[in-house]
Amino acid sequence: MNSLNLPKLVILGGSSPFTIQLIDQFVSKNFTQVSHLVLYGRNDKRLELIANYSRHHLTKAGWYVESNIDLDNALEGAEVIIHQNRYGGLEGRLEDELFAQQFGFTADETLGPCGLKSAIRMAPCLKALAKKILALCPGALLINLTNPLSIAVSILHHWGVKKVLGVCELPTVTFVKVAEIIKLPASQINWDYTGLNHRGFIYNLTFAGETLFPKFLEKISSSGFNGFTRTEIEDLGAIPLKYFHLFSQSHHAEGRALQVKLIGDRIIRELSLKTNLSPESLKDRNMDWYEKGVIPLLNAINSMNPQPLVINMANETGITIESKTLISKGAIETIRSAQIPVRVLKWIEIFLEHEKAVLKAALDPTPQNVKEALERDPLIRGSELAAIQQFIIGSHQKEEEYANT
């Protein structure tokens, strides 16, 4: 078996134990495209374990699988790149979570000061990656999974990677739950969506010309939905994603870095003992983004029939917006939404101003830019701002010093 005439699909971050879940999706009936798969990662022992598992399950289906610890060789000639690198590793995520505990804000890797700190950390790495992509595979489509997802897409786009999409399963997963409550097939309900990654809203639910929002409100009158009361949803005029809890009430998510690390270590141990069996510990972490995000997108870009998907894509101003789109082979068309509810529009304006400031700080982390990003963050109290700013700038300076030694 060789790679001749097979489209080259590269997974950056291929030594992550959780990549096995994606390999299992490639094997499943959900996906039939055959590719030349290249797994790139920095942990060579884990990388080879995952590559051997991939070869065992994919080669018989016509795939060609290889692993590579040389980024240039991995990228050269790529047609599709799945980007799931974790810059700073789980150690960096743990540091951010301890930072959150110290100052009393939510330990979320995509939003708030943790998201800002992570964006600043990864920006130089994404600039270097963009340079390599433009030199080695300028026509490749990059599918971003790395968090903070929307900022990562914006940074890559800023540095010249124009074919870059971010994918998150949460809008679709949330909508399917809504359809189940209404007791109608999800495929038959029309719906609009607006927002930014993890900050989006579902609205304008219709079926055969009938508005379904009142019916949905009636169904959740006693139990609520996703932890939101009927009144909260009715006041918004839309159904928010679960992360809206962070903005609508005092809610501090617990850190998960240590838990994720322990699950990953168990997966590798299980794979080492039974190299061709899907590890049992995969079930201990929900990874819907592969089955309900990546696979539908890969299917869509290989189809002549447009598929409606929610994706993250940079707009004309360079800010990454999450929206419904029609995607097919060679075409991406944003679906025009109905008029946005007034209260939702106010939140979107807040999120957009904050996102612009975070992108500016990530690209140029001066004290003033970091301060502005924190000032525009709806998760930050003013009394905390100076100390958080100082901590983020100090951490960045230490990382720069370490990188230059």
Please indicate, yes or no, whether residues 175 and 162 belong to a single structural domain of this protein: no
Please indicate, yes or no, whether residues 368 and 388 belong to a single structural domain of this protein: yes
Please indicate, yes or no, whether residues 119 and 227 belong to a single structural domain of this protein: no
DSSP alpha helices (H): ranges in 7-58? 19-27, 44-58
- Structural domains in the chain (count): 3
Burial 91-114, CB ≥16 within 10 A → b, else e: ebbbbbbebbeeeebbbbbbbbbb
Residue 101 placed within a domain? yes
- The residues, any chain, with a CB within 8 Å of residue 382's CB and separated by 6 or more, are none
Contacts of 225-233 with C-beta under 8 Å, sequence gap 24+, read 225/177, 225/178, 225/181, 226/174, 226/177
We report the CATH number of the domain holding residue 21 as: 3.40.50.720
Please indicate, yes or no, whether residues 161 and 83 belong to a single structural domain of this protein: yes
Q: Summarize pLDDT for 278-321 with one digit per residue, the tens.
A: 999 999 999 999 999 999 999 999 999 999 999 999 999 999 99
- Annotate 74-86 with DSSP letters as a single string: HHTT-SEEEE---
Residue 145 placed within a domain? yes
Please indicate, yes or no, whether residues 196 and 286 belong to a single structural domain of this protein: no
Residue 378 placed within a domain? yes
Contact between 141 and 301 under an 8 Å Cβ cutoff? The reply is yes
d(CA 393, CA 371): 10
Residue appearing with tokens 């900022």:
151
Q: Summarize pLDDT for 43-60 with one digit per residue, the tens.
A: 999 999 999 999 999 999
Please indicate, yes or no, whether residues 32 and 178 belong to a single structural domain of this protein: no
pLDDT value at position 330? 85
Please indicate, yes or no, whether residues 226 and 285 belong to a single structural domain of this protein: no
Please indicate, yes or no, whether residues 323 and 395 belong to a single structural domain of this protein: no
Please indicate, yes or no, whether residues 74 and 205 belong to a single structural domain of this protein: no
* E strand intervals along 42-183: 64-68, 80-83, 141-144, 164-166
Residue 341 placed within a domain? no
Please indicate, yes or no, whether residues 129 and 16 belong to a single structural domain of this protein: yes
3-state secondary structure of 359: helix
Contact between 365 and 393 under an 8 Å Cβ cutoff? The reply is yes
When mean pLDDT is compared across 19-33, 247-261, 291-305, 379-393, the lowest value belongs to: 247-261
Residue 3 placed within a domain? no
DSSP letter (8 states) at residue 225: B
Cis omega before residue 296 (within 30°)?
no
Residue 111 placed within a domain? yes
Torsion-angle region of residue 205: left (phi > 0), alpha (psi -120 to 50) or beta? beta
Please indicate, yes or no, whether residues 363 and 388 belong to a single structural domain of this protein: yes
Contacts of 360-363 with C-beta under 8 Å, sequence gap 24+, read 361/116, 361/119, 361/120, 362/116, 362/119, 362/120, 362/122, 362/123, 362/151, 362/155, 363/123, 363/155, 363/158
Give the structural domain span for 383.
Answer: 354-403
pLDDT value at position 249? 66
Residue 348 placed within a domain? no
How many CB atoms sit inside 10 A of residue 380's CB?
A: 20
d(CA 29, CA 259): 31
pLDDT value at position 405? 45
- The residues, any chain, with a CB within 8 Å of residue 148's CB and separated by 6 or more, are 109, 110, 111, 115, 118, 119, 197, 358
Please indicate, yes or no, whether residues 245 and 284 belong to a single structural domain of this protein: no
Q: Summarize pLDDT for 134-193 with one digit per residue, the tens.
A: 999 999 999 999 999 999 999 999 999 999 999 999 999 999 999 999 999 999 999 999
**pTM of the entire predicted model:** 0.95
Q: Quick one: which of 190, 202, 199 has its CA closest to 308?
A: 190
We report the CATH number of the domain holding residue 220 as: 3.90.110.10
Express as a percent the part of the chain with pLDDT over 70: 96
